[in-house]
């Protein structure tokens, strides 16, 4: 399942394409949508309302496929798809329809985020979930009794006709799919927002009990599918990623035995379950992190990191790419074809081929491992015992980072770029590399080998940034460049040209003129990274004209964001970062550019003019909601007055 997009809101207007009967006022896309609605959407919606099980099953399968496409999903949602599923499918007498319906709600929730998950909760979906959980618990008790039959009874079972045995296996798989869909739906709802998480967490105890009971039921012999077993681990991992309270609850549960789980997943029977091994490392990491086990933090980070790299390096990327290839089936009916016989208990009914399913598991494994590695960099970079003292990295940890982790991440990065991003993990890899850059910056000593690696990483990141228009990816690329610039100092000069700087400043100026959108946070984050990167270049570029242009940009940005965006924390961060960089760039009159830029351009007077807006910005920050930002803003405001006085007296 991977990490979900918590709190992502979709604020786009929902326009009914048939609100205006006059087609002459519709643009080409609306006409196309209207035709699609009449030819595909409405017939499927009508079949979904049918009392005929086959019609309903066919419609659910087709709608599930269509919902993978954003445009088709929007059209279906306009026809009250969610309401129809909740009212007419979740309580259906046909088990397969119920299972498919919960799975579809899960998929829609992942794609649409907060707006839809909030609607689920307000529509009292938890009542349906509780009923489903009771049914699952009862079914597994029955299954457990059947698995515990004496040998004679099992022998009789083996004498069943082939069709009967296949039917039993299909029912078993249906139960496993049902359980997975319900648990993952719970995770999706909880990931919608903090309020939704709190609502779900209040009801989590019976769910957690079921999850732990099913995990223990599979040890020492797997009785469910590996897919369901991993979903049980995923449930614990996802909640542990979000909540210290959940971790405490998990840690205090006498039935949950992490060491037993680790031992089981290390057994020969689980040698191929790489995803399960990664989940265990994730749960272990979050337990270690949340329980404040600061002793041997370095050793724990080294062990978990080493285990994660050992897991992901078993994945053959070329085979993965090949297995992801999808045959063009545009001319075939939009429905799932159920296999004539269940050949494997991990083969989902009517689902992907085994090769495609394994490829998706491999991508999930890589995604979670990258997320964890990213978190580990952040965790070991902070010295809890003395936050003012840089972290000390052991030689063993540095070796694992530079010899195993970093090369693996670079291989993944190159694979994505050379193959048109088949894994869709480019941004996660860049964020992970960014955290690595800042880990070394925050450590007591930067390894000598990293200086060479950082230069090579710069070239890769600049190449990616030049080929990607996506603002999110460009923002993360800038973050890496910022970290590398602070690491290498003047050594980065040959890699930087004036056109790069001018282009970035021009891009930021353009962004300030744009109307705010739902992606405004990404825009502000891009701007903040640009400020940090350019401000770090200014004192080391050895070009007075360029330093002057950057400092002018920092001053105008301070003014713009302090005056116009005082209600947005990210905007406040930009003003704070700009001013702190000004303090560094012009910290000493001996700098060759200080007189030419600061004195001749009357920067002191300009900074004095900024004091009222900076003070107002500081006053408006809510200390309860943003305590750390409030402290930073206060320090920056106080330092502004001191800096102005310092520069006034500096040349007297």
Each residue's pLDDT tens digit, 565-593: 657 899 999 999 999 999 999 999 999 99
Q: What is the pLDDT of residues 368-387, one digit of tens each?
A: 999 999 999 999 998 877 88
How much is the average pLDDT of 250-273?
Answer: 96
165-177 burial string, b = 16+ CB within 10 Å, else e? ebeebbebbbbbb
Q: Max CA-CA distance within the chain?
A: 102
Alpha helices in 333-470 (DSSP H): 354-380, 395-400, 406-418, 426-442, 448-467
Q: What is the DSSP string of 200-226?
A: HHTTHHHHHHHHHHHHHHTSSS--S-H
Which residues have a Cβ under 8 Å from the Cβ of 268 and sit 6 or more positions away?
none
Q: What's the pTM value of the predicted model, to 2 decimals?
A: 0.88
Query: For residue 632, is pLDDT > 90?
Result: yes
Per the listing, tokens 């590399």 go with 433
List pLDDT tens digits, range 10-26. 323 333 333 344 444 45
Query: Cα separation of 246 and 3, whole Å?
Result: 17
Going from the C-alpha of 525 to that of each of 54, 433, 519, 528, the distances in angstroms are 50, 17, 10, 5
C-alpha–C-alpha distance, residues 72 and 68, integer Å: 8
CATH architecture of 496-650: Alpha Horseshoe (1.25)
Q: Which two tokens stand for residue 234?
A: 């995923």
| Residues 228 and 181: beta-carbon distance below 8 Å | no
By CB neighbour count within 10 A (0-12 exposed, 13-18 middle, 19+ buried), where does 516 fall?
A: exposed
Question: Given pLDDT bands bounded at 50, 70 and 90, which one contains residue 164?
Answer: low
> Please, which pLDDT band fits residue 278 given cuts at 50, 70 and 90?
very high
Residue 331 has pLDDT above 50, yes or no: no
Q: Among all chains, which residue has been given the structure tokens 């004209």?
A: 545
Segment 592-624, tens digit of pLDDT: 999 999 999 999 999 999 999 999 999 999 999
Residue in the block written with tokens 């003014």: 559
Q: Using an 8 Å Cβ cutoff, are 551 and 597 in contact?
A: yes
Left, alpha or beta for 2 (phi > 0: left; psi -120 to 50: alpha)? left
CA dist 520 to 56, 67, 367, 556, 571, Å? 41, 27, 26, 19, 10
**Tens of pLDDT, residues 475-507:** 999 999 999 999 999 999 999 999 999 999 999
pLDDT, residue 512, reads 86
Q: What percent of the chain has pLDDT over 70?
A: 87
Alpha-carbon distance of 102 to 215, in angstroms, equals: 22
Q: Where in the chain are the domains?
A: 496-650
Q: How confident is the model at residue 647 (pLDDT cuts 50, 70, 90)?
A: very high
- Pair 557, 574: CB distance under 8 Å: yes
CA distance 391 to 438: 12
Write down the pLDDT at residue 14.
Answer: 30
């Amino acid at each position: 399942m991977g990490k979900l997009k918590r709190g992502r809101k979709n604020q786009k207007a929902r326009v009914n394409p048939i609100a205006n009967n006059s087609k002459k006022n519709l643009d080409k896309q609306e006409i196309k949508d209207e035709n699609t609605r009449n030819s595909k959407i409405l017939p499927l919606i009508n079949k979904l309302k049918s009392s005929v099980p086959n019609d309903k099953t066919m419609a659910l399968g087709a709608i599930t496929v269509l919902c993978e496409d954003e445009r088709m999903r929007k059209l279906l949602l306009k026809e009250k798809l969610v309401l129809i599923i909740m009212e007419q499918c979740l309580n259906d007498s046909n088990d397969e329809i119920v299972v498919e319906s919960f799975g579809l709600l899960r998929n829609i929730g992942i794609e649409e985020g907060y707006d839809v998950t909030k609607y689920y909760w307000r529509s009292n979906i938890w009542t349906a979930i509780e009923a489903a959980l009771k049914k699952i618990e009862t079914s597994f008790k029955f299954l457990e009794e059947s698995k515990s039959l004496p040998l004679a009874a099992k022998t009789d079972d083996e004498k069943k006709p082939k069709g009967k045995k296949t039917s039993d296996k299909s029912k078993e798989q249906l139960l496993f799919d049902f359980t997975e869909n319900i648990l993952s739906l719970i995770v999706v709802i909880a990931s919608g927002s903090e309020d939704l998480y709190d609502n779900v967490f209040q009801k989590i105890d019976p769910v957690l009990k079921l999850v732990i009971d099913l995990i223990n039921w599979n040890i020492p012999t797997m009785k469910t599918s590996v897919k369901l077993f991993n979903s049980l681990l995923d449930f614990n991992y996802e909640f542990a990623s979000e909540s210290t309270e959940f971790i405490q609850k998990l840690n205090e549960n006498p039935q949950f035995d992490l060491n037993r789980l680790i031992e089981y997943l290390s057994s020969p029977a689980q040698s191929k379950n790489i995803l399960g091994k990664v989940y265990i490392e994730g749960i272990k990491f979050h337990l270690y992190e949340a329980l404040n086990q600061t002793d041997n933090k370095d050793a724990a980070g080294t062990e978990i990191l080493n285990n994660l790299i050992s897991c992901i390096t078993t994945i053959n990327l070329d085979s993965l790419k090949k297995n992801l290839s999808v045959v063009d089936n545009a001319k075939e009916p939009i429905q799932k074809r159920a296999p004539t016989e269940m050949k494997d208990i991990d083969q989902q009914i009517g689902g992907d081929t085994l090769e495609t399913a394994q490829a998706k598991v491999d991508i999930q494994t890589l995604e979670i491992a990258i997320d964890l590695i990213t978190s580990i960099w952040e965790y070991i970079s902070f010295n809890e015992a003395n936050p003012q003292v840089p972290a000390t990295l052991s030689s063993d940890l540095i070796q694992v980072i530079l010899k195993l982790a970093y090369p693996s991440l670079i291989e993944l990065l190159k694979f994505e770029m050379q193959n048109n991003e088949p894994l869709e993990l480019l941004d996660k890899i860049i964020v992970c590399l960014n955290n690595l850059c800042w880990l070394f910056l925050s450590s007591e000593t930067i390894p000598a080998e990293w200086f060479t690696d950082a230069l090579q990483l710069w070239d890769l990141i600049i190449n990616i940034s030049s080929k990607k228009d996506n603002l999110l990816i460009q923002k993360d690329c800038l973050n890496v460049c910022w970290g590398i610039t602070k690491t290498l100092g003047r050594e980065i000069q040959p890699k930087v040209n004036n056109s790069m700087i001018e282009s970035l400043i021009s891009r930021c100026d353009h962004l300030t003129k744009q109307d705010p959108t739902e992606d405004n946070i990404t825009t502000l984050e891009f701007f903040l990274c640009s400020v940090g990167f350019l401000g770090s270049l200014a004192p080391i570029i050895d070009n007075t004209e360029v330093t002057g242009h950057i400092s002018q940009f920092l001053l105008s940005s301070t003014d713009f964001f302090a005056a116009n965006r005082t209600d947005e924390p990210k905007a406040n961060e930009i003003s704070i970062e700009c001013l702190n960089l000004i303090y560094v760039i012009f910290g000493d009159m001996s700098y060759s550019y200080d007189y030419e830029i600061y004195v001749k351009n009357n920067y002191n007077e300009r900074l004095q003019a900024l004091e009222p807006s900076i003070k107002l910005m500081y006053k408006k920050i809510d200390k309860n909601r943003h305590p750390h930002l409030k402290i930073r803003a206060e320090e920056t405001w106080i330092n502004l007055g001191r800096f102005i006085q310092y520069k006034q007296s500096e040349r007297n």
